[in-house]
Amino acid sequence: MEKAMFAGGCFWCMVTPFEELPGILGIESGYAGGKSENPTYEEVKTGTTGHYEVVQISFDATLFPYEKLLELYWPQIDPTDADGQFQDRGTQYRTAIFYYNDEQLNAAIESRDQLAASGRFAEPIVTEILPAPIFYRAEEYHQDYHKKNPKHYKEDREQSGRDGFIDKHW
């Protein structure tokens, strides 16, 4: 089993693209990259902790290679926005690929460079590629939020602008 970690704005919206695929063993919403230990949602949402909202994915690389995770990741985000994602603004909603080993680092750099060279976006790609920090699991009510609160999740996603961006650019 390997792990991957991605920041893509609101972590609620970053779970569904990866779930229920062969080789994906688990997805947890959480926080990473900040200065405080064991942060809470109330702290992180202020934007003062330095933490990103992230998803940590456990996967079997023989069934679902890391490169396929990257292929799923990029179309979920606006990789040109350094100040958040869609309606969610602030440092906690920045995008990043956190790598656990040199193979993930190299794959992430290659995928970013391919996207930049594709001409898909006029603005530069600002999604950072960083060493994986400590992952702090978010509160239980954030786990599988789309299943626990489908009506609110759907409304929030529709209002966010994420799906319109995805339709336009991907």
Domain boundaries, the chain: 2-169
Catalytic annotation on 10?
Answer: yes
pLDDT averaged over every residue in the chain: 96
Token output for 65: 């290679």
Q: How many Å apart are CA 67 and CA 150, to the nearest integer?
A: 30
59-73 b/e (C-beta count within 10 Å ≥ 16 → b): bebeebebebbbebb
Q: Mean pLDDT highest for which of 83-87, 132-136, 152-156?
A: 132-136
What digits encode the pLDDT tens for the residues 27-71?
999 999 999 999 999 999 999 999 999 999 999 999 999 999 999
Q: What is the pLDDT of residue 128?
A: 97
What's the CATH code, domain 2-169? 3.30.1060.10
Q: Of 5, 10, 57, 77, which residue is the catalytic one?
A: 10
